[in-house]
Chains A and B, each alone.
Chain A
Amino acid sequence: MLSWSVLCKPTTERIWNRVRRDRETGIPGRLMALTEEPTREELETWAIQIGFDPVRYIMAWVCLAEEEWAKANISGTQNQAEASRKDWAMTHFAPLRTPIRPSIESAGEHPRFSLLAPGGSGKLPNQELRPKSCRAALRELLGGSQAVAPLALSIMPFMVTFGLLTRAAGLSIWIALGMTMVIFAGSAQLLAVQMLLGGAPGALIVAASGTMNLRHTLWSASIAPHLRHLSLLWRLLLAYFLTDEVALLSIRHYEQSGCRKKRHWFMLGAGLVEWVAAQVSAALGSLLGTQIPANWHLDFTATLTFIALLVLALKDRTSILAACLAGAMVLLAGGLPLRLGFLGAVLFSLLVGMALDARAAHHQEEPICRSGS
């Protein structure tokens, strides 16, 4: 069993870092003047909004504030501002006046906590918060599954094609399902089965699918800033669901404004729905076998889905230019083995996009310089 301190420490450290940052930059939605600390209610609302336990958050806030006051007193600059800060502490946090060491690991167990909560129970904030944050998580989960539904539906025929191909390659339904479960990357699976049908050696199949899937590393890098705050378990879980569609939807969802704390549930919901859709359609394709004629072009649905996502992803001039360049490059480099053309085209376009960004930033700076001189 994990000990309490192991479970608790990362959370506590995260709160300390957050509070340190918030004390420097101020709480959004509230213009914090230097002479004035926020009220307890404001701190509480803010802590709930960013998903921290309000009691612990406020505790850390007060400790840091006290450290600052102590420093100011030592250097002998107790002016009006300092006096008003002390007033603030006296009125709102009288029970917490004496400094508490930041090294307390299980702040939640500290006896002084009971004094903070109205009514003195010490449990109130937690009990009130749980259902609320649960509901937020559920809302995100459902939102994610709803958002991915049309995409999953469009990908299903593609996965049916995969099932058909496994049948054609003489593989059983269990292998088709196992592949979908273990790999969970439609295009790589299709490529692998096609190569198996063509009698390619295993090492070559691994190399080709590997280079093809390197784009997932790019998705991973793109979504990493949004998932950095999550625990390792969450990140390990979400990495499994990081397909093209899920990554795209989640990045777009994270870029919207509002509280981001529970948005990883959105990603989980999207991933789960797509996972189920992939399993069902792979099994369907394997069972139906050769009963679906080839001229139905079911595999074309994946391309069509990507066309829709591409058009929706083109937002500014740089992205349109980069996308056109990537398309042209991949067509020119199509003859290279192991899908290396794909990788080269993507990386080259990314570099050109960076250069375009740098140029755009340079052009934006110029008028400011002129107006300044």
Chain B
Amino acid sequence: MPIWFLIGVLGVTTYGERILFLLGKRWVLPSRIEKALRLVPPIVLAAIVAPALFVGAPGVGFPLHVAIAGAVAAVVTLWRKQVLPTVMSGLVVLWLLDWIKL
């Protein structure tokens, strides 16, 4: 499959998935579901974060240093309520743990 064709197909599927609920103007979800949609951000984010923190590369076991860096980052977020301090602290902690060969 030529690479540009692949990119095109990927682009169309991604855009299709994004436009789906925005397309119909009169397409209104039941109120119960609409209320539950406020849970989408925490659920999706947790489902992205959990494997990244607790599952190592194939063949490597539990990545302790990554998990610790993630935990520190979460605490920093609770403290500062901002994104940049979280990213900086998590990255620095990961570098430190790498450096002392944990």
| Interface residue ranges, A against B (CB under 8 Å) | 150-151, 153-154, 171, 175, 178-179, 182-185, 187-188, 192, 201-202, 205-206, 209-210, 213-225, 227-228, 235-236, 238-240, 242, 244, 248, 251, 295-297, 300-301, 303-314, 318-320, 322-324, 326-331, 334, 342, 345-346, 349-350, 353-354, 357-358
> Closest CB-CB distance, A326 to chain B, in whole Å?
4
**Residue B64 CB within 8 A of the other chain:** no
- Distance, CA A346 to CA B42, complexed state (A): 10
B1 contacts A202, CB within 8 Å?
yes
- Distance, CA A39 to CA B80, complexed state (A): 48
Can you list the 6 inter-chain pairs with the closest CB atoms, starting with the nearest?
A: A182-B11, A327-B50, A202-B1, A323-B46, A308-B86, A310-B45
B10 contacts A209, CB within 8 Å?
yes
Q: How many residues of B contact A (CB 8 A)?
A: 66
- For A171, the chain B residues whose CB sits under 8 A away are 3
B interface majority secondary structure: helix
> Closest CB-CB distance, B38 to chain A, in whole Å?
7
**Residue B100 CB within 8 A of the other chain:** no
- For A151, the chain B residues whose CB sits under 8 A away are 83
Given contacts A309-B45, A323-B43, contact A354 B36 (CB under 8 A): yes
> Closest CB-CB distance, A325 to chain B, in whole Å?
8
- For A301, the chain B residues whose CB sits under 8 A away are 87, 91
Given contacts A350-B39, A353-B36, contact A224 B90 (CB under 8 A): no
Given contacts A213-B13, A236-B19, contact A305 B40 (CB under 8 A): no
Which of B18, B34, B41 lies in contact with A248, CB distance below 8 A?
A: B41
- Distance, CA A240 to CA B11, complexed state (A): 10
B83 contacts A327, CB within 8 Å?
no
> Closest CB-CB distance, B18 to chain A, in whole Å?
4
B10 contacts A242, CB within 8 Å?
no
Which residue from chain B places its CB closest to the CB of A209 in the assembled complex? B10
- For A323, the chain B residues whose CB sits under 8 A away are 42-43, 45-46
A319 contacts B42, CB within 8 Å?
yes
Which of A240, A303, A320 lies in contact with B18, CB distance below 8 A?
A: A240
> Closest CB-CB distance, A343 to chain B, in whole Å?
9
Please list 12 pairs of residues, one from A and one from B, whose beta carbons are closer than 8 Å in the complex, sorted by A's number: A150-B83, A214-B17, A217-B21, A223-B22, A239-B19, A297-B91, A300-B69, A307-B70, A307-B77, A308-B83, A322-B42, A324-B46
